[in-house]
Structure 1
Amino acid sequence: MKQFYLMIESFSFIAKTFPDWTLEIYGDGDEKNTLLELIKKLDLVNNVIIHPPTALVYEELYNSAFCALASDKESFGMVYIESFSMEKPVVSYDIDYGPKAFLRNEHNSLISPCFDKEHFARQMKRLIEDETLRNSLGRNARKTFIEKYEISKVMESLIKEINP
């Protein structure tokens, strides 16, 4: 579950401090109206935008500063890898599934305890305030992608499994 409400609530702790920053969510679903109500309730209508789904995932990631994900479980976490491929660090909860295999706190991502919204907000705040940190984590995220998840690495791994 994506738990967008946790991201919105976390962002509410820092939105007034950073009025020029926006939290942009892509997708559509059963929770959209509930999320829009939460955005209004928290007075974030100018700070949080819910966009329709997009096929231009890489373009949107390229134009972002970082990626924040509040999932409680992910089988693998393709959005994390897509973010890493675009040299974008990730703020995430320390979930016990999929992404835990490649998220390294303070190396390619910033990790928060499950589901500590205030800590998650502080991690986002750190990336907003510290461009050097954001760039360093982003470089390491890209390096993680190239070393483990770039298509030639994935194919090499599959071939080794098929032909031991």
Structure 2
Amino acid sequence: MEKLVIGLVQTHDDAEAAAERVIDCGYTRQEVSLLMTEATRDRCFPSPDVAPPSSTFGAAVAMSVVVPDLGFVVAGPLAAVVASAVGAGITGGLREILITAGVPRHWAERYQAGVRQGGILVSVFARSERDVGLLHLVLDDPHMTSFHTEAHRHHAYDTSF
């Protein structure tokens, strides 16, 4: 049973740092997903030709899936969840897609608002219950107080369908 663990950050550097912390927990770069608006992608992730060599996401964001009707781009395994939801006819936006993925409504609404405000969702599917708590700690970004509450640290979202 996979559980989706999500963090919300504001900048490219914050996304890189969050991904590095997830990788330090034994996950691979390919297991980390990003979701943001096209405007945020353009602001935070330069083209791969000018991305710094240390950039974890340069090529991944360049190959991201654009969901124009919903106004965002997604890179990584979360793209399959988004594609499945869109294929099933869910067109109400990010909130509905996250709810379909098992995210509680109030968190889905907060994440949607955060993305609309220029935030970047960084997510990973936890391999075990033990990893859920650990991943919440490493995806917790103290600089994102406007998007963060204490309760967030203790939620994982069952994404089994």
Give the TM-score, by structure 1 length: 0.35
Larger Rg: 1
- Indicate the structure whose relative CO is greater, using CA pairs within 8 Å and at least 6 residues apart: 2
Give the TM-score, by structure 2 length: 0.36
Which structure has greater strand proportion? Answer: 2
